[in-house]
Amino acid sequence: MSSLRMTAGWWASAKVTLAAFAIALLIGAVLIAFSDEDVVETLPNLFTYPGDFFVAAADAIGSSYWAMLKGSLGSWHAIASTLERSAPLICAGLGVTFAFRAGLFNIGAQGQMTIAALIGGYVAFAWQLPAGLHLLCALVACLIGGALWGGVAGVLKAQAGAHEVITTIMLNYVAASVLLYALSKDAFQRPGSDNALSPQPLDTARFPSIGGVHLGVLLALLAAVLVWWVLDRSTLGFELRAVGANPNAARTAGMSTTVVYTVAMVIAGALAGLAAAMNVLGEGNALSPTLVGSIGFDAITVALLGRASPVGTVLAGLLFGAMSVGGVAMQASVGTPKELTAVIQALIVLFVAAPTFVKALMRFKDQGGGTTLLAKGWGA
Amino acid sequence: MRRITKISAVLSAGLFSLAATACTSDGGDTASEGENSDFKACMVSDSGGFDDKSFNETSLAGQDAAEEDLGIETATVESAGDSEYANNIAQLVEQGCDHITTVGFLLGDATLASAQENTDLSYAIVDFAYADDQGNNTAPDNLKGLTYATDQPAFLAGYLAAGMTESDKVGTLGGQNIPTVTIFMEGFRRGVDQYNQDNGTKVQVLGWNGKSGSFTDDFEDKTKAQAIGEQLIGQGADIIMPVAGPSGLGALQAAKDAGVKGIWVDSDGYESTEFGDILLTSVVKGMDVSVEQAITDSVNDEYDNEIYLGTLENEGVGLADYHDFEDQVPDELKDKIDELRQQIIDGELTTS
Amino acid sequence: MKLEIRGLTKRFGDFVANDHIDLTIEPGEIHCLLGENGAGKSTLMNMLYGLLDPSEGEVLIDEVPRSFATPGDAIAAGIGMVHQHFMLVPVFTVAENVMLGDESVRGGVFLNRGQATERVRALSQQYGLKVDPEALVEHLPVGVQQRVEIIKALSHNAKVLILDEPTAVLTPQEIEELMQIMRELRDQGTSIIFITHKLREVKAVGDRISVIRRGRVVGTADPSTSEAELAEMMVGRSVKLVVDKEPSTRRDTVLQVEHLTVTDPRGHQVVKDIGFEVRAGEVLGVAGVQGNGQTELVKALIGLIRPDTGVISLDGNDISGHGPRRSLEAGVGYIPEDRSHDGNVGSFSVRENLILDLYRDDRFARGMALRLDDIATNAQERIEEFDIRTESDQTPVSALSGGNQQKVVVAREFSRPLKLLVASQPTRGVDVGSIEFIHRRIIAERDRGTAVVIVSTELDEIYALSDRIAVMYDGRIVGTVTPDIPREQIGLLMAGATDTGEERV
């Protein structure tokens, strides 16, 4: 639809993102240097032997970032890990993006994933079905679980006007408690164990893998293409974007905001459900209270970094996946704390959210790329 | 919240060590270049992280001790969620680790998978064992489960608490209703029962009745444990034992605020927490000892897959000192507890 | 105070918004700045007020060159500005709003509200600006809010007052009152720069008129200049101010409204038992002061509000409970009174806005897939047909001038067969050239046999378009007349009664 505008704004916002990335890495480098024992040892003699300090700092920074790069992209195995780690981030991020385009700030990917994992996971470990069919059933169960949980927030918004930020946050808590409750019941626990841990998904319900990467990853990319098509090329996406940008004009033009809100949250939830499928059916994780980790929340960051566009979300998801995998390598090989990865990720988002600051820092000409989107989410 | 604390910890650690090195210009390496420097022991935490003042931290202490004592190399990786476990272990395999310790039952599947794949490495998992319905060990030859009979020292703690309470009410709370948590609470409850039997008293246990009780459903959020702690104290408990990892610190805060006493678990809280002055004692789970032992065995090629069970007898679990309460605990109570300890070791008394 | 602008120029990249503008504002005169939307009036004033840095040129006050880096500098130099969109805090009182920014303080910490209240009272008496200093701004009508802005400027001792399109938001009565205030201010020595594109107003109140077109001053005139001449200077070509139209050939009744009653969300009955009919090929003008139920009447007609009672029948079918989508599909076209609020999606491209209520049509969608090529073709055709001035059909509609945004709405609504057209304030905030164009299109639509309802608070517009005029007051139609009756008589009906002495505040 808006390809011309997209290309113009695209480069401006990509530039800001890249600059934000660079600044974040730079600050990260300073942190690495000053949390490294060898570097700190040189500090007392900084003025007598400044060379020692710079050699040690360069060594610490270089080896950390090198480990991160190598750990995330340096081998096929590393790339496979990155892809698998990125897949749920991309899917859940797409869910946030999709809702965002309808003007809804979906904080509930976490809860939607949780319920999806619960239902899909149950189908995956408890049902006995032939391969293929089992996978299909488990996948559909994941999608339904997510859609259901997202839909609750959508219906509450559409019918009762309840603000989706509040309801999705609350539903996250409810979902976490539902999971915990289920895991205290025998039906969800491993036979002979009282631990809050379910049996592992059966192999018949797992995504097949090729070369160490499960095929769910492909599904995630396919989902991104589909989301792009729906948003940009379909009547539904047209309605969705119109309602998101100006609900009054949309209503005047005969669109139903209640339908759009509900549908948007159902689809957003289903996408989060797909993210849960990556965890359960892709990686084969059993249900546990910490199954989802923080993916549902990281998804918000991914969507914002991706500027609520499907392509951007995929790229941001890959970046975060790579940093997460690379962060582990950095920690394992050089001992750099993994919090550093979190710091760098947070800084990137911070700088992307403050483009004026980055532009000033990098002396970009102000072309106003992508500021409004991030600022608008709340209050809508 | 946690992230923020950690980040600031990184920052302040940097600043602090800066100041520290400024004073002591001569650091010097310790025994890190020992005879086993070609051996690498590695550890993966669960999502609690290595700064949990609880079982991840204690387990790491064991690996650190091994590094010191044996002169081996080490590496660690912290996990943020379940989907990271497999990759985190794989990452350590790739880093050339010879022995990998994983912490917590949640890592059970990933650890088993990695152990089956890399038969030339040795593995140990804290707080978990692979067993079939009959309790037979099903672990592969290179994987050792480390478990702990914490009900034994918890029993003693319960007996002590019952002997020390003035309100005839003691309390406990858990992080989650799972076996590794409730085993403490159950031992504690039975210790109180034993005291009542022996002395004809009617000390009540709040927060656990043998089946259900008070749980925070969270091992990290201190406010939840604090709320439950206040509730227990409000109901009359004057000694409380939180079994909720770092979350439990909130309950100790509640105890301190209300002027009542506490009992810590996992590590000796007199040293690991800032609430030493209100702690009667601690139920110590010697994960550090067993982790180090497993590493030592691996270094010395004496590795087996026998499930390790820490008991009072092998000192894999124990009751910590009374510290500040040394003078307040009556001698006859101390003697009685020592007597019970011996009975448990001799198998004359069962605690669960 | 004498204000002189010499060679003031502002460039944005290659674009020259103001090109060597020279103006002199004498003490105690009302100087009108006349120009179409986008001619550069606001840019000029923003430079004068310290909001934009001039690329070239200088500003002299009493022969002394001055430069303003911030509005604060401009205010200190005696320049005050009332923006088109008010800068008031709705939940504060009038006095609090006036004191905002230079709060006088008692005893170091306590705000001196009493003093501010007194100051407002004094200013309001001196200049005849009736306003209650203790009233909350959010409770005040727009016209009174504007007075608060003026008082705010005066309280900073403004000697030159800039009024940026002050009449755009006002009713005819409020405009009359504002002009009275402007004259009073002038007589007491304050100079006023009055920015507008409305010819009638500059002639009524101006002492001198400078016309701006495409960033240049194209001429200065005095108020005796005819409207046609002024319009020509402003637009750059001769403009027809009166729409040529044949008498209507009334045919069958298309819209029949009976006993329509509407309650607003706050529970007030705002449309009270209204009935009227509109025939094919006829324009019914609904006149009235804003806020007398026209908004709700229109929303009910289009299906955005469900009426309490009554029938809205289109070609004999009651559509009152249908909702906007089915009403649109039944052949109702709608030009909303606030285009950026209800008419367009600002961040959407011109192309997308041109199909905002047509995207489901087989012309533009195949199943769920949008037919992008056809949508693009449609955009090109509409842009050409309606002379929409835009960089491309991909430009976000919010980047267009008000008139062109309105043309997008009009073009869209006219690009499907209509039975009924409901147009509310179809030319509000639209420049003269576009008004002429939109009016011609509306008449053309009438001549094609569409029934048309025009709701407008501008009597000029009602007269220009209507075949019959219904006057609304307090939710009722108080009279239906033909356009040959004098303005005064309609004015009386709009005031609700023959009693003209009553003043609305």
* Mean pLDDT in residue range A65-89: 93
The confidence score (pLDDT) of residue A127 equals 95
User: Cβ contact (<8 Å) for C394 and A2?
Assistant: yes
Could you tell me if A1 lies within 8 Å of chain C, comparing CB atoms?
Answer: yes
The confidence score (pLDDT) of residue C324 equals 92
The confidence score (pLDDT) of residue B25 equals 37
Residue B31 pLDDT more than 50?
Answer: no
Quote the CA–CA distance of A257 and A260 in Å, as a whole number.
5
The confidence score (pLDDT) of residue C103 equals 60
Within 8 A of A37 by CB-CB distance, chain B residues are 17
Distance from CA of C169 to the nearest CA of A (A): 20
All domains in chain C, ordered by first residue = 3-235 (3.40.50.300), 240-331+417-505 (3.40.50.300), 348-415 (no CATH)
Q: For testing the chain B interface, which of A76, A90, A190, A195 should be mutated: the one with the most B CBs within 10 Å?
A: A195
Which chains does C contact via 3+ CB–CB distances below 8 A?
Answer: A
Within 8 A of C348 by CB-CB distance, chain A residues are 2, 241-242, 245
pLDDT tens digits, one per residue of C396-452: 998 887 788 999 999 999 999 999 999 999 987 777 778 888 999 999 999 999 999
The confidence score (pLDDT) of residue A79 equals 94
Residue C461 pLDDT more than 50?
Answer: yes
For the ranges A132-146, B257-271, B306-320, C126-140, the lowest mean pLDDT is seen at C126-140
The confidence score (pLDDT) of residue A194 equals 78
Which chains does A contact via 3+ CB–CB distances below 8 A?
Answer: B, C
Could you tell me if A233 lies within 8 Å of chain B, comparing CB atoms?
Answer: no
Cβ(B7)–Cβ(A343) under 8 Å? yes
Using only C-alpha atoms, chain B has a radius of gyration, in whole angstroms, of 21
User: Cβ contact (<8 Å) for A251 and C395?
Assistant: no
Residue C363 pLDDT more than 60?
Answer: yes
Within 8 A of A84 by CB-CB distance, chain B residues are 87
Within 8 A of B104 by CB-CB distance, chain A residues are none
Quote the CA–CA distance of B253 and B259 in Å, as a whole number.
10
* Mean pLDDT in residue range A295-310: 92
Quote the CA–CA distance of B57 and B78 in Å, as a whole number.
11
* Mean pLDDT in residue range A283-298: 92
C241 band by pLDDT with thresholds 50, 70 and 90? low
Quote the CA–CA distance of B38 and B73 in Å, as a whole number.
7
Do C and B make contact, counting contact as 3+ CB pairs within 8 angstroms?
Answer: no
The confidence score (pLDDT) of residue A363 equals 62
Could you tell me if C334 lies within 8 Å of chain A, comparing CB atoms?
Answer: yes
A1 band by pLDDT with thresholds 50, 70 and 90? very low
pLDDT tens digits, one per residue of C92-107: 889 888 888 666 555 5
Nearest-by-CA chain A residue for B178:
A195
User: Cβ contact (<8 Å) for A234 and C351?
Assistant: no
pTM of this structure: 0.81
Nearest-by-CA chain A residue for C340:
A249
Could you tell me if C365 lies within 8 Å of chain A, comparing CB atoms?
Answer: yes
The confidence score (pLDDT) of residue C105 equals 57
Distance from CA of C375 to the nearest CA of A (A): 9
Number of CB pairs < 8 Å for A and B? 135
pLDDT tens digits, one per residue of B168-211: 999 999 998 888 899 999 999 999 999 999 999 999 999 999 88
Helix, strand or coil, per DSSP, at residue C255: strand
Could you tell me if A77 lies within 8 Å of chain C, comparing CB atoms?
Answer: no
Nearest-by-CA chain A residue for C355:
A253
Cβ(C159)–Cβ(C132) under 8 Å? no
pLDDT tens digits, one per residue of C157-173: 889 999 988 887 676 77
User: Cβ contact (<8 Å) for A31 and B11?
Assistant: yes
The confidence score (pLDDT) of residue B272 equals 85
Quote the CA–CA distance of C462 and C283 in Å, as a whole number.
10
Among candidates C324, C329, C369 on the partner chain, residue whose Cβ is nearest the Cβ of A252:
C324
User: Cβ contact (<8 Å) for A236 and C368?
Assistant: yes
Residue C243 pLDDT more than 80?
Answer: no
Among candidates B11, B81, B95 on the partner chain, residue whose Cβ is nearest the Cβ of A295:
B81
Within 8 A of A288 by CB-CB distance, chain B residues are 82, 106
User: Cβ contact (<8 Å) for C394 and A253?
Assistant: no
Which chains does B contact via 3+ CB–CB distances below 8 A?
Answer: A
Could you tell me if A160 lies within 8 Å of chain C, comparing CB atoms?
Answer: no
Nearest-by-CA chain C residue for A2:
C394
Mean pLDDT (chain A, rounded): 88
The confidence score (pLDDT) of residue B20 equals 39
Within 8 A of A43 by CB-CB distance, chain B residues are 18, 21-22
Cβ(C239)–Cβ(C246) under 8 Å? no
Residues linked to residue C192 through DSSP beta bridges, in sequence order: C30, C161
User: Cβ contact (<8 Å) for A293 and B22?
Assistant: no
Quote the CA–CA distance of C348 and A243 in Å, as a whole number.
11
Among candidates A43, A88, A338 on the partner chain, residue whose Cβ is nearest the Cβ of B21:
A43
Quote the CA–CA distance of B228 and A81 in Å, as a whole number.
41
Residues linked to residue B46 through DSSP beta bridges, in sequence order: none
Within 8 A of A234 by CB-CB distance, chain C residues are 368-370
Nearest-by-CA chain A residue for B46:
A290
Q: Is C215 left (phi over 0), alpha (psi -120 to 50) or beta?
A: left
Among candidates A250, A252, A255 on the partner chain, residue whose Cβ is nearest the Cβ of C336:
A252
Residue C271 pLDDT more than 90?
Answer: yes
Quote the CA–CA distance of A39 and A46 in Å, as a whole number.
10
For the ranges A40-44, A134-138, A311-315, C272-276, the lowest mean pLDDT is seen at A40-44
Quote the CA–CA distance of C330 and C321 in Å, as a whole number.
13
Nearest-by-CA chain C residue for A5:
C394
A351 band by pLDDT with thresholds 50, 70 and 90? confident
**How many CB atoms neighbour CB C166 within 10 A?**
26
Among candidates A34, A88, A333 on the partner chain, residue whose Cβ is nearest the Cβ of B14:
A34
User: Cβ contact (<8 Å) for A337 and B6?
Assistant: yes
The confidence score (pLDDT) of residue C489 equals 83
Residue B1 pLDDT more than 50?
Answer: no
User: Cβ contact (<8 Å) for A1 and C349?
Assistant: yes
User: Cβ contact (<8 Å) for A85 and B106?
Assistant: no
Within 8 A of C395 by CB-CB distance, chain A residues are 5
Do C and A make contact, counting contact as 3+ CB pairs within 8 angstroms?
Answer: yes
Quote the CA–CA distance of A302 and A319 in Å, as a whole number.
9
Rounded percentage of chain B residues whose pLDDT exceeds 70: 90
Provide the chain A residues 11-40 that lie in CB contact (below 8 A) with chain C. Answer: none
Quote the CA–CA distance of C163 and C147 in Å, as a whole number.
11
pLDDT tens digits, one per residue of A188-237: 998 877 788 999 999 999 999 988 899 999 999 999 999 999 999 999 99
C359, C364, C370, C372 alpha-carbon torsion, rounded to 10°: -120
Mean pLDDT (chain B, rounded): 87
User: Cβ contact (<8 Å) for A332 and B11?
Assistant: no
Mean pLDDT (chain C, rounded): 87
Quote the CA–CA distance of C298 and C144 in Å, as a whole number.
26
User: Cβ contact (<8 Å) for A40 and B13?
Assistant: no
Quote the CA–CA distance of C286 and C296 in Å, as a whole number.
13
Q: For testing the chain B interface, which of A72, A278, A288, A350 should be mutated: the one with the most B CBs within 10 Å?
A: A288
Rounded percentage of chain C residues whose pLDDT exceeds 90: 44
Helices (H) and strands (E) in chain C, counts: 16, 24
Quote the CA–CA distance of C159 and B175 in Å, as a whole number.
72
All domains in chain B, ordered by first residue = 37-148+287-310 (3.40.50.2300), 151-285+322-345 (3.40.50.2300)
φ/ψ of C211, rounded to 5, equals -105, 130
